Amino acid sequence: KQEVTQIPAALSVPEGENLVLNCSFTDSAIYNLQWFRQDPGKGLTSLLLIQSSQREQTSGRLNASLDKSSGRSTLYIAASQPGDSATYLCAVNEGAQKLVFGQGTRLTINP
Amino acid sequence: DAGVIQSPRHEVTEMGQEVTLRCKPISGHDYLFWYRQTMMRGLELLIYFNNNVPIDDSGMPEDRFSAKMPNASFSTLKIQPSEPRDSAVYFCASSPVQGGDGYTFGSGTRLTVV
């Protein structure tokens, strides 16, 4: 059974710092991997989607990498801002239309 | 497009009552998913549809839960009878193609069963 783990569970950093969020999964037979953002009381917003054949994807200050063989993905946020404060969720798609989510990393950027 | 629309946003009901959650997917999306989010278990897939047909309902917790999709623009998730442990946020999501590309989530329904 696929299990997705996100470390750390919570992270607090000062504004302007670069940071890395980690995601690991137990079964490397995935179709793709997505990073989502969730604000308190809100739904999920897709940030980046990496296909299994890709190594990384970039969108603005965000960069996500994927190492399928080792079962790892990272989300890099450059020059963090208070508006980046949210919970970040990693999800793997095993190709059966099921997204298996990690528990998320709650990120706080302090002004 | 207004995105995935869920109603109600909040629902408070007494134990034993029937609860119906509603979802309108994005027009043209072939897949519709129902997820449940709790602090203890995180996000869990309950059931998903392809072209209005239920494909996998293995995540539905028990027979008290049922889901329907009578047409391409509407789905319901029903709990009857409801129990306090059903309290959670229920999300609906839709996707246009196989493989999860373009997953779009609704804002969720926060259900409280007292």
- What's the rounded Cα separation, in Å, for the pair B73 and A56? 34
pLDDT bin (cut points 50, 70, 90) of residue A99 is confident
B22-51 residues touching A, CB cutoff 8 A:
31, 33, 42-43, 45, 48, 50
Burial class (CB in 10 A: 0-12, 13-18, 19+), B57: middle
Over residues B9-52, the pLDDT tens digits come to 999 999 999 999 999 999 989 899 999 999 888 999 999 999 99
Q: Are A102 and A89 in contact (CB under 8 A)?
A: yes
Subunit contact A43:B91, Cβ cutoff 8 A: yes
Radius of gyration of chain B (CA): 13
Which of B35-44, B70-79, B84-93 shows the lowest mean pLDDT across its residues? B35-44
Helix, strand, coil percentages (3-state) for chain B, rounded to 5, are 5, 55, 45
> Closest-CA residue in chain A for B31?
A97
> A–B: how many Cβ contacts below 8 A?
56
- Which of the pair, A6 or A96, is modelled with greater confidence? A6
CB contact A9 to B (< 8 Å): no
CA B29, B35, B37, B40 dihedral sign is negative
- What's the rounded Cα separation, in Å, for the pair A20 and A108? 13
The pLDDT value given to residue B94: 92
Subunit contact A43:B106, Cβ cutoff 8 A: yes
Which of B12-21, B73-82, B89-98, B100-109 shows the lowest mean pLDDT across its residues? B100-109
Over residues A19-75, the pLDDT tens digits come to 999 999 999 988 889 999 999 888 899 999 998 899 999 999 999 999 999 999 999
Radius of gyration of chain A (CA): 13
CB contact A13 to B (< 8 Å): no
Subunit contact A34:B100, Cβ cutoff 8 A: yes
> Closest-CA residue in chain A for B34?
A98
The pLDDT value given to residue B96: 82
CB contact A46 to B (< 8 Å): yes
- What's the rounded Cα separation, in Å, for the pair B13 and A81? 39
CB contact A87 to B (< 8 Å): no
Distance of CA A82 to the CA centre of its chain: 18
CB contact B56 to A (< 8 Å): yes
Candidate from B31, B99, B105 with C-beta closest to A31: B99
Distance of CA A67 to the CA centre of its chain: 13
Candidate from A31, A43, A104 with C-beta closest to B100: A31
Q: Are A73 and A47 in contact (CB under 8 A)?
A: no
Strand ranges in B9-107 using DSSP code E only, listed in sequence order: 10-13, 19-24, 31-38, 42-50, 53-56, 65-71, 74-79, 88-95, 104-105
| Torsions phi, psi for A68 (to 5 deg) | -65, -40
